[in-house]
Structure 1
Amino acid sequence: MKFINDSNLSHSFYKDITRINYLEDMSSQLISDYGYTYIMLCYGTIEAFNYKGKKVKVPEVFIKGTGDFFTVKAYKNSSWLSFELPNHVLHNVTKIHSKKNRNTLIDLSLYVEEEIIQSLYESLRNVNQIEEITTIADNHLRAYYKDWSVLLPSVEIVQYILRKKGMLATKELSEVFPYSEKSIERMFNKEVGATPYRFICLVRFNYIIRELEQNKYTSLTDLITQYDYYDHSHFEKDFQKFLGQSIKDYKNDNNSLLSNGLSRIYVK
């Protein structure tokens, strides 16, 4: 696989843009949930399977929000292009309750003129320079950015959770923000696609697994303690929840797709 991205990307709408070109057939590889929304363009033969192992349809251009882990299997000369966005963008685009869209690859042509989608798709088919990809995406979708970028009540709370690295109790949110616990839960289900508790756990897991991937720790016990896990068993449960595998299996798994995702800065 060849990964193409720009660590210095600075854009008013996109948080990150990555292209992955498959130079040979690849076996299934797991993709974790990072708590963001993605617009993706897929070229060639790419198969996707949800966290239950069920094959799902992959539209040529789709949008996906936060959900569970899934796996992809791609074949030689295939490629996919990923645009990372804040998680509330899914709700802004679809106007549908985000939790009802969990684990769904939603055809973007349902919300953008089909001619624009087709032109975008063909224009980006063979483009491998991130700067050029960004320009082409802007030329096609700029008219939608304003509506898609509208800030929702959950945005400030999500940023707070990210700053705290997920190391907080859900009740803290209602103490800091002017909403009840029930209101925040309804808000997150609608706008984020997960309960506050699950999102908090997801954020903490994304921080700690990056340190694990990059060997930025002296001992696993110290790392677990640093991130407020009760014990090793508690940490193991998060592995099963967010990656569907044990810590041991993760360490023995040669997953370049996941490793590449974890090598990039989590919060930009």
Structure 2
Amino acid sequence: MIFIHNENFRHSFYKDVTRINYIEDMSSQLISDYGYTYIMLRYGNIEAFNNEGKKVEVPKVFIKGTGDYFTVKAYKNSSWLSFELPNHILHNVTKIHSFKNRNKLIDLSLYVDDDVVKSMYENLREVNSIEEITKIADQHLRENYKDWSVLQPSVEIVQYILDKKGMLAVKELSDFFPYTERSIERMFKKEVGASPYRFICLVRFNYIIRELEKKEHKSLSKLIADYDYYDQSHFEKDFQKFLGQSIRDYKNDYNPLLTNGLSRAYIKRSKY
């Protein structure tokens, strides 16, 4: 598996761009949820299974928002191309309540002219330079960026949660922002695709699992305490919720797809 990424990537619309090329058949690998929206292009034979183990259709070009973990099985000469975006972009593109789109791989041609999608797909088939990939995507999709970039009320709250590393209670949101807890709940399900509580837990988990992956912590108990978990049992529950496995299984599991994903910065600032 060849993982192509530019750690210095900056763009006014995309948070990150990654290409993964498979040079041999790969066993099933888990893809965690990072709380973002993705526009993705699939080349070749790649199978996807949801968190219930059910096989799902993978369109050639699709958009997906925050949801549960997936597993994918990729075959030789196949490839993924992934454009990472803020989570509210799914709602801006589809105009559909994001919770209703949870765990769905939505064909982008439902919202972008089919000829444009096909042209972009073909033009990106053999391109491995992140700079060139982004340039081609801009040429095809730029006219949509203004509408897709419209800020939603949840954006500021999401950034607050990210900055706090998910270490806060839901009530703090209504104390800090001019919305009731019920309004924030409705807002998040519509625009983010998850409840505020689940999103907070997801953000904290994404921070701590990156620390776990680095293997620089003095002890697991210290790391757990640093991220405001009650105890290891509490941490294990988040492992099952977001990765569908135990900490032990995670440590013993060979998953270069997840490892490469976790090696990137969790919060990525836009160019402007």
What TM bracket, shorter-length normalisation? over 0.9
Partner of 1:186: 186
Alpha-carbon distance in 1 for matches of 2:216, 2:110:
43
- Give, as a single letter, the amino acid of the residue that structure 2 aligns with 1:233: S
Query: TM-score if structure 2 supplies the norm length?
Result: 0.98
Number of corresponding residues: 268
The secondary structure found in structure 1 opposite 2:239 is helix
Alpha-carbon distance in 2 for matches of 1:48, 1:214:
28
Partner of 1:161: 161
Query: TM-score if structure 1 supplies the norm length?
Result: 1.00
Alpha-carbon distance in 2 for matches of 1:196, 1:168:
11
5+ residue gaps, structure 2, are none
Deviation at 1:216, TM superposition (A): 2.4
RMSD of the TM alignment (CA)? 0.3
- Give, as a single letter, the amino acid of the residue that structure 2 aligns with 1:260: N
Deviation at 1:250, TM superposition (A): 0.1
The secondary structure found in structure 2 opposite 1:82 is strand
Partner of 1:200: 200
Deviation at 1:259, TM superposition (A): 0.2
Partner of 1:72: 72
Aligned positions of 1:114-193 closer than 5 A = 114-193=114-193
Partner of 1:36: 36
Deviation at 1:84, TM superposition (A): 0.2
Alpha-carbon distance in 1 for matches of 2:9, 2:32:
22
The secondary structure found in structure 1 opposite 2:146 is helix
- Give, as a single letter, the amino acid of the residue that structure 2 aligns with 1:87: N
- Give, as a single letter, the amino acid of the residue that structure 2 aligns with 1:217: H
Instruction: Give runs of ≥4 in structure 1 deviating > 6 Å.
Output: none
Alpha-carbon distance in 2 for matches of 1:123, 1:216:
42
Q: Note if 1:220 corresponds to 2:220.
A: yes
Aligned positions of 1:241-252 closer than 5 A = 241-252=241-252
Alpha-carbon distance in 2 for matches of 1:2, 1:198:
32
Residue-by-residue CA offset, 1:182-240 (whole Å, 9 max, x unaligned): 00000000000000000000000000000000112100000000000000000000000
Partner of 1:19: 19
The secondary structure found in structure 2 opposite 1:250 is helix
Alpha-carbon distance in 2 for matches of 1:139, 1:64:
21
Alpha-carbon distance in 1 for matches of 2:9, 2:101:
28
5+ residue gaps, structure 1, are none
Q: Percent identity?
A: 79
